[in-house]
Protein backbone atom coordinates (compact mmCIF):
# COMPACT_ATOMS: atom_id res chain seq x y z
CA UNK A 1 0.00 0.00 0.00
CA UNK A 2 2.78 2.40 0.88
CA UNK A 3 4.49 2.01 -2.50
CA UNK A 4 1.17 2.70 -4.26
CA UNK A 5 0.70 5.85 -2.17
CA UNK A 6 4.24 6.93 -3.00
CA UNK A 7 3.37 6.52 -6.68
CA UNK A 8 0.49 8.97 -6.31
CA UNK A 9 -2.42 6.53 -6.01
CA UNK A 10 -5.09 6.55 -3.30
CA UNK A 11 -5.39 2.87 -2.35
CA UNK A 12 -7.81 1.51 0.19
CA UNK A 13 -7.99 -1.97 1.62
CA UNK A 14 -11.08 -4.11 1.98
CA UNK A 15 -10.62 -6.66 4.70
CA UNK A 16 -14.21 -7.73 4.98
CA UNK A 17 -16.20 -10.73 3.84
CA UNK A 18 -16.85 -11.05 0.13
CA UNK A 19 -20.48 -9.87 0.28
CA UNK A 20 -19.41 -6.66 2.03
CA UNK A 21 -16.50 -6.27 -0.39
CA UNK A 22 -18.83 -6.51 -3.40
CA UNK A 23 -21.17 -3.93 -1.83
CA UNK A 24 -18.24 -1.57 -1.21
CA UNK A 25 -16.94 -2.06 -4.74
CA UNK A 26 -20.39 -1.27 -6.18
CA UNK A 27 -20.69 1.81 -3.95
CA UNK A 28 -17.18 3.17 -4.57
CA UNK A 29 -16.48 1.98 -8.15
CA UNK A 30 -12.68 1.99 -7.84
CA UNK A 31 -10.60 2.24 -11.00
CA UNK A 32 -8.63 -0.86 -10.13
CA UNK A 33 -8.74 -3.73 -7.67
CA UNK A 34 -6.07 -6.14 -6.46
CA UNK A 35 -7.85 -9.37 -5.71
CA UNK A 36 -6.54 -12.58 -4.16
CA UNK A 37 -7.75 -15.79 -5.80
CA UNK A 38 -7.89 -17.81 -2.60
CA UNK A 39 -9.82 -16.19 0.24
CA UNK A 40 -12.43 -17.25 2.76
CA UNK A 41 -15.97 -17.66 1.50
CA UNK A 42 -16.35 -16.95 -2.18
CA UNK A 43 -13.05 -17.34 -4.00
CA UNK A 44 -11.51 -14.55 -6.06
CA UNK A 45 -12.55 -16.10 -9.37
CA UNK A 46 -16.22 -15.82 -8.38
CA UNK A 47 -15.70 -12.29 -7.04
CA UNK A 48 -14.07 -11.37 -10.37
CA UNK A 49 -17.08 -12.81 -12.23
CA UNK A 50 -19.43 -10.69 -10.13
CA UNK A 51 -17.35 -7.56 -10.62
CA UNK A 52 -17.37 -8.16 -14.38
CA UNK A 53 -21.17 -8.56 -14.32
CA UNK A 54 -21.87 -5.42 -12.30
CA UNK A 55 -19.07 -3.06 -13.34
CA UNK A 56 -16.72 -4.38 -16.04
CA UNK A 57 -14.91 -1.03 -16.23
CA UNK A 58 -13.14 -1.82 -12.93
CA UNK A 59 -9.71 -3.20 -13.75
CA UNK A 60 -8.69 -6.24 -11.72
CA UNK A 61 -5.23 -7.64 -11.08
CA UNK A 62 -5.36 -11.06 -9.45
CA UNK A 63 -2.84 -12.17 -6.84
CA UNK A 64 -2.17 -15.81 -6.01
CA UNK A 65 0.30 -18.29 -4.64
CA UNK A 66 -1.07 -20.88 -7.07
CA UNK A 67 0.95 -22.00 -10.06
CA UNK A 68 -2.05 -23.86 -11.51
CA UNK A 69 -2.02 -22.74 -15.14
CA UNK A 70 -5.70 -23.50 -15.80
CA UNK A 71 -6.74 -21.38 -12.81
CA UNK A 72 -4.56 -18.47 -13.89
CA UNK A 73 -5.91 -18.70 -17.44
CA UNK A 74 -9.49 -18.76 -16.12
CA UNK A 75 -8.87 -15.47 -14.31
CA UNK A 76 -7.59 -13.90 -17.52
CA UNK A 77 -10.44 -15.36 -19.58
CA UNK A 78 -13.04 -13.91 -17.19
CA UNK A 79 -11.53 -10.46 -17.48
CA UNK A 80 -8.59 -9.99 -15.12
CA UNK A 81 -6.08 -7.56 -16.58
CA UNK A 82 -3.17 -9.48 -15.11
CA UNK A 83 -2.32 -12.26 -12.69
CA UNK A 84 0.66 -11.87 -10.35
CA UNK A 85 2.09 -14.77 -8.37
CA UNK A 86 3.14 -14.42 -4.75
CA UNK A 87 5.48 -13.35 -3.46
CA UNK A 88 4.62 -10.31 -5.54
CA UNK A 89 7.43 -8.25 -7.02
CA UNK A 90 6.29 -4.73 -6.08
CA UNK A 91 8.06 -3.08 -9.02
CA UNK A 92 6.30 -5.39 -11.48
CA UNK A 93 2.97 -4.93 -9.70
CA UNK A 94 3.44 -1.16 -9.80
CA UNK A 95 4.12 -1.36 -13.53
CA UNK A 96 0.95 -3.43 -14.10
CA UNK A 97 -1.10 -0.92 -12.08
CA UNK A 98 0.36 2.00 -14.04
CA UNK A 99 -0.29 0.36 -17.41
CA UNK A 100 -3.89 -0.61 -16.57
CA UNK A 101 -4.77 2.83 -15.22
CA UNK A 102 -3.18 4.51 -18.25
CA UNK A 103 -5.30 2.33 -20.51
CA UNK A 104 -8.45 3.50 -18.72
CA UNK A 105 -7.78 7.21 -19.26
Structure pTM? 0.85
Domain containing 85 — which CATH number? 3.40.50.2300
12: nearest Cα among 38, 30, 36: 30
Q: Go through the chain and tell me how many residues it has.
A: 105
Q: Flag whether 62 is in a domain.
A: yes
Q: Count Cα neighbours of 27 within 13 Å in the Cβ-side half-sphere.
A: 7
Query: Taking each helix axis from N to C terminus, what angle separates 44-54 and 69-78, rounded to the nearest 10 degrees?
Result: 10
The per-residue pLDDT for range 58-84, each reduced to its tens digit, is 999 999 999 899 999 999 999 999 999
C-alpha to C-alpha distance for 86 and 104, rounded to whole angstroms: 26
Q: Count how many domains the chain has.
A: 1
Name, in order, each residue with C-beta under 8 angstroms of 92's C-beta and a sequence gap of 6 or more: 84
The per-residue pLDDT for range 33-56, each reduced to its tens digit, is 888 888 777 888 999 999 999 889
Which residue range is the domain that position 68 belongs to?
Answer: 2-98
Amino acid sequence: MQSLRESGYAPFSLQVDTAQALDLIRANAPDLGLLDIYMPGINGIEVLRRIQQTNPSIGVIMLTASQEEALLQTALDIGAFDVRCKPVNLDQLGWAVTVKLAMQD
